[in-house]
Amino acid sequence: MKFVVALLATSMFVLPAFADGILDIDKLSQDLTTLQKQIAELTSKPVWNKQAMNKQIDETNFVVTGKKAMTRINPENGKPEHGVQNSTGSATLIDREHGIFLSASHVGELDDLTLATLKVGGTKTEETDYEISNRFKILAPIHDLALLHTEDKLPTNITASKLACNDPERGDTVYAVGNPLGIYGTVTKGIVTTRLYNALHENVNTKVMGTDAAVEHGASGGAVYNEKGEIVGVVSAMHGSQTAGVFIPVSTIQAFLVAASRKTGLDPKNFIAQPCDNQFTQSQHMKLVDPEELPKKPEPEKKKEENK
């Protein structure tokens, strides 16, 4: 079949290559080279069908739970009161052997973090929890990216998600995966709608992308995939009051992995789905933060016992 397609397509290039009855070898060679690349891309392009999509999401999408310090002003006495609020987010397994997950920095900054995955079969749902280790926990707050790590043993029959080589273009189809509003493993489909700069910080040339794929609270840190099932971004926030999403593109993630490799000792190219022509370079603004360097959050105030 491939031979027939190639033969028919080749004839389309050979005839126009004649000029005044003379065969233009250079033009024919260029056209055939272009055709070979197109055929190779079409015949080798993997299909992320529903079965493959569901399998990948079930194996690599994890719920992140943690606690967030909150401060509110007591309306009665006007004094600040410190408390703790439970929060959830999302993370994606990108290295099963070393137990490394990709997420958002504002998710990784939560206290008492745990990872959980769910297996739904029939009427039974099984939840497995994994403890977060600070060994490879790395944050890049300016770019809202994080690496999370567990030393707990992960199942050997799962396959980690891989990163794409390049950022998607406007109009490309993408899938946002996460755990919004406590609902595990949701998938929303949309297109890349815009490319923004300095959206996270005014003085730093940060790049984010927008999508009309619906995003809700709890989806932060989840993966954005292309039609090949490759990660092209990480969900960062909702876009305004709408459910449209903002995500950190894969080019920034690659730069983050280069910077993080000083601590992990892992080659960033191992996280990529296929060999990339582009060079992996670290952004000059890619400042990493060790979790131990984060400012200590206020402890909740204990209520004083009234004297009886």
Give per-residue pLDDT as tens, 104-153: 998 988 878 888 886 654 444 567 888 888 777 899 888 899 999 999 99
| pLDDT confidence of residue 229 | 95
Whole-angstrom Cα distance, residue 41 to residue 36? 9
Res 241: pLDDT: 56
* pLDDT at position 265 over 70: yes
More confident residue, 25 or 103: 103
Check residue 100 and give its pLDDT. Answer: 94
Residue of higher predicted confidence among 210 and 84: 210
Class of residue 122 by CB neighbours under 10 A (exposed 0-12, middle 13-18, buried 19+): exposed
What are the boundaries of each domain within the chain? 2-39
- Per-residue model confidence as pLDDT tens digits over 48-64: 888 999 999 999 999 99
How far apart (Å, rounded) are the C-alpha atoms in residues 214 and 156?
32
User: Where would I find the H helices in the chain?
Assistant: 2-14, 25-44, 50-60, 105-108, 250-264
Three-state SS letters, 221-280: CCEEECCCCCEEEEEEEECCCCCEEEEEEHHHHHHHHHHHHHHHCCCHHHHECCCCCCCC
Q: How confident is the model at residue 4 (pLDDT cuts 50, 70, 90)?
A: very low
pLDDT of res. 44: 52
pLDDT at 263 over 50: yes
